[in-house]
Amino acid sequence: MSSPKVLVIGCGIAGPVVALLLQKKGYEPLVFEKVRELGDAGASLMMFPNGLKVLSKVGMAHFITDSATRVTKFCDRDSHGTDLGVSDLPNIFVEEYGFPGCGVKRAGLNMKLKERLAAVGIPVFEGWKLKEVIEDENGVIAVSEDGREVRGSFLIGCDGLRAVSRSLVGREHRVREGMAEYTGLTQASHKFYLMRAYADHRQTAGMSTTPPYLKEHPTMLNIYGPGAHFICYPVSPNTTSWAITQEELEEAPETWKLSSGSELLQQRTQLLDQFKAWCSPVPELIQGAERIVKYGLYDRPQLEPEYWYSPTGRVVLIGDAAHPTSPHLGQGANQALEDCYHLDRLLPEFDKDEALSSEKLIEAFAAFAKLRQPRTAALVKGARAQGDSRVVKGINASMERDDRLRKSWQDNEAITAKYDVLFREPF
Ligand SMILES: Cc1cc2nc3c(=O)[nH]c(=O)nc-3n(C[C@H](O)[C@H](O)[C@H](O)COP(=O)(O)OP(=O)(O)OC[C@H]3O[C@@H](n4cnc5c(N)ncnc54)[C@H](O)[C@@H]3O)c2cc1C
């Protein structure tokens, strides 16, 4: 019997990594990506030890740790420049967990993962957008938007926030989802789980040259002011990535388009006008922005474990397809990587004498979903709560938030324990 063909939908973060892991296990992964050529959306990610451990399993952690600047400090500050809390905790990450925390440009990571797939002979079909799946007892057929069909043993939906794979699994369970705000509607045998705009929060993000004092002390810096939250961290020795979260009630469609030329100038001027009174490095980073992008923040209500895979057992969801999150805990990609590790671990070894039955797959997927759902659901909720508590309006609410933050930094044990729960995993 030949190796089971695994159809991996999405070449973001989870897709390539689960493909690389499964190839090592003797499976034959094929990766399908809707985008024709991966572009540069200008965004960045904080990678933490839990995610980097998984990347190390496929020889990819060094790409980040060799080229990135390790964060050595966490700092929370109010918008007048008074520190609310500072910690050297990131310095112990390598000793405690084997890996540091560091920022990375998303496009660079995507590109490296794609190169790795090519290097080990895993095909990537670009411009191939999943539209439909047809399952039977022996396998699955994936159908692209333009009518191409491919058959495999099973399919892994790694197609992110607006996953088609998720709607298709939902359809098999008679669970319907939409893209509007959560309404809590239920109707006859259909449940409606709707994607929700993250409390109407929007982020404006940019990349700028790192100011000298941040070069000396690479810091993940959060700055809190009335109605807005600012975060920045290094993504290379000379470049700092930053993002401002604010409430914006108008329902603008999400766009990841980079502002350029006159647009960039206009955005910079507007932002500078709004944030000129904020402490350093906010104005300088805005002023020095070489790129600016604006987008909405989304998550989705938690999906019960039985909806993470189809009843026939030929489709399973991982990463943002299963548990998209707002970015306030910096865990979406890191959790997607934990998913890859556990799914790979729980799938049976390739057995050349026995076909992969639906029963075996359901057993593995059920164990996977049961293990992963509580942790990821808690983190999605936690990220939402973190965002809500960061962006508050009015002087009194801002002062209360700052007091709360100041107090929380005094409890060193609680802070260490909070990170320990995240970074001890997944092995
Ligand atoms: C502003 C922002 C900041 C963030 N910061 C962090 C951070 O600091 N740390 C962190 O850990 N996480 C962060 N995240 C979350 C992180 O980006 C996601 O959790 C992570 O990218 C999920 O990986 P994924 O592979 O599941 O999905 P994605 O990375 O979204 O990849 C999905 C892929 O599937 C493709 N695709 C979609 N539909 C189809 C289809 N129908 N057919 C074929 N292909 C398809 C897409 O083009 C894409 O390439 C952040 C998110 C945002 C929005």
Q: 162 alpha carbon to ligand 1 midpoint, in Å? A: 10
Bigger pLDDT: 40 vs 255: 40
Cα atoms found within 13 Å of the Cα of residue 420, Cβ hemisphere only: 7
Q: How far is the CA of 47 from the centre of ligand 1 (A)?
A: 13
User: Is 67 among the domain residues?
Assistant: no
**Is 375 within a domain?**
yes
Ligand 1 atom closest to Cα of residue 13: 25
Q: Which of 45, 231, 254, 326 to mutate to test the pocket of ligand 1 (most atoms within 8 A of CB)?
A: 45
Each residue's pLDDT tens digit, 303-318: 999 999 999 999 999 9
Q: Are 202 and 248 in contact (CB under 8 A)?
A: yes
Structural domain of 354:
5-40+106-196+304-389
Please state the domain count of the chain.
1
Task: Give, for ligand 1, the residue of 33, 109, 372 to mutate: max count of ligand atoms closer than 8 Å to Cβ.
Answer: 33
Q: Does some domain include residue 110?
A: yes
CA angle 414, 420, 421 (to 5 degrees): 95
User: Which residues lie with the beta carbon below 6 Å from any ligand 1 atom?
Assistant: 9-15, 32-35, 43, 45-46, 129-130, 158-160, 164, 203, 319-321, 327, 330-334, 336
13, 104, 300, best to mutate for ligand 1 pocket (most atoms within 8 Å of CB): 13
Q: 72-102 pLDDT, tens per residue?
A: 999 999 999 999 999 999 999 999 999 999 9
Q: Which residues pair with 233 in a beta bridge?
A: 241
| Torsion over CA: 222, 225, 230, 232 (sign) | negative
Angle in degrees, CA 422, 59, 100, rounded to 5:
35
pLDDT at 186: 23
Quickly state the pLDDT bin for 401 (edges 50, 70, 90). Answer: very high
> Tell me, what's the pLDDT at 353?
83
Question: Is residue 247 one of the residues assigned to a domain?
Answer: no
pLDDT value, residue 183? 24
User: Cα(159) to centroid of ligand 1, in Å?
Assistant: 8
Atom of ligand 1 nearest to the CA of 298: 53
Domain membership of residue 233 (yes or no) is: no
Inside any domain, residue 414: no
Average pLDDT over residues 396-402: 95
Residue 205: inside a domain, yes or no? no
Residue 39 has pLDDT above 90, yes or no: no
Task: From the CA of 332, give the closest atom in ligand 1.
Answer: 19
31 within some domain: yes
Give Cα separations from 413 to 96, 197, 386, 409, 417 (angstroms). 15, 34, 19, 10, 6
Alpha carbon of 216 to ligand 1 centroid (Å): 31
What CATH number did the domain enclosing 369 receive?
3.50.50.60
- The stretch 254-280 carries a mean pLDDT of 83
Question: CB count, 10 Å around CB of 413?
Answer: 7
Please give the pLDDT value at position 187: 25
Cα distance between residue 341 and residue 323, in whole Å: 16
Question: Is 80 exceeded by the pLDDT of residue 360?
Answer: yes
Residue of minimum CA distance from atom 27 in ligand 1: 160
- Whole-number mean pLDDT of the chain? 90
Instruction: Tell which one of 34, 47, 150, 295 to mutate to probe ligand 1, the residue whose CB is within 8 A of the most ligand atoms.
Output: 34
